[in-house]
Amino acid sequence: MFSSKSLREKIRPILLAVIAVLLFLIYRAMGGMSPDVLYYISLAAQFALILMGVFLSTHEAWVKQNRILMILAFVIVGGIAMLAAVRQQQENRKDANEGNRKLAGLTTGGNSFCYVQFLARGENATLVVLQRGDFPLADVQVKLIDSDTATSESIMNNQPVNVGTLPVNGSKLIGTISLGNLSERKFLAAFSARNGQWDQLVVLRRLNNEWRLTMRVQRNPGAGFL
């Protein structure tokens, strides 16, 4: 037969493991909560600790008989209060970082970009710049380069088109170009804006008297063209 002391010593690590797992699950469950909800949980847990302290001081005999139960209750409720406060700080920090990101995005353009849409018909194409991303773009310029005929001198002498500011999902007509009677045309649109530089590689192929367009946008390679 085990003595009560020996039994308590054997049960103690099991109880500690159960409490640790329980607090971990509670901490995970708090992950999607708003800072306000976490604040009220922490406040309620602290108030519960006060009530438990009052109960402890007015029911000493019962507490002595159920000391382990009271210790477990204090550990769990105190742990909830602490974890709620930690989660609240994390969520507040996350909200602050998101606010800073949005403010920076509104100022610089963030990770937004734009590209030239070629509206080709016959031997001509209308060029429209389209914005994509969560933030408006400012100080946008684009240099359109004919990859088939470009030389280093013509690239340097080619003046960029000033697009200006593009709102979210905005667009701007920048002109019309001649495609000629060729079956394939290649262009490079080199962009610069307040948030950086990027290239748009464009290939136009004429199939059954209709133009088919493929393109790819990539960051930074076109910076030297502007």
Q: What is the pLDDT of residue 225?
A: 45
Q: What is the CATH number of domain 113-225?
A: 2.60.40
pLDDT tens, position by position, 123-152: 899 999 999 999 999 999 999 988 877 666
Q: How wide is the angle at C-alpha 163 spanned by C-alphas 167 and 193, nearest 5°?
A: 75
Average pLDDT over residues 96-118: 85
Q: What is the pLDDT of residue 156?
A: 62
Q: Look-up: residue for tokens 């159920």?
A: 66
Q: How wide is the angle at C-alpha 97 spanned by C-alphas 94 and 102, nearest 5°?
A: 125
Share of the chain above pLDDT 90, in %: 33
Residue 166 in contact with residue 172, Cβ under 8 Å?
Answer: yes
Which token pair is 67? Answer: 């000391």
- pLDDT-derived band at 165 (thresholds 50, 70, 90) equals very high
- Angstrom distance (rounded) from CA 161 to CA 189: 11
- Angstrom distance (rounded) from CA 186 to CA 184: 7
The alpha carbon dihedral of 35, 41, 45, 51 has a sign of positive
pLDDT tens, position by position, 169-199: 999 999 999 988 888 999 999 999 999 999 9
pLDDT tens, position by position, 37-56: 888 888 888 888 888 888 88
Q: What is the pLDDT of residue 155?
A: 63
64 versus 10: which is more confidently predicted?
A: 64
Quick check: 224 pLDDT over 50?
no
Residue 163 in contact with residue 185, Cβ under 8 Å?
Answer: no
- pLDDT-derived band at 1 (thresholds 50, 70, 90) equals very low
Number of Cβ within 10 Å of residue 34's Cβ equals 11
Q: How wide is the angle at C-alpha 125 spanned by C-alphas 123 and 127, nearest 5°?
A: 165
- Angstrom distance (rounded) from CA 41 to CA 48: 10
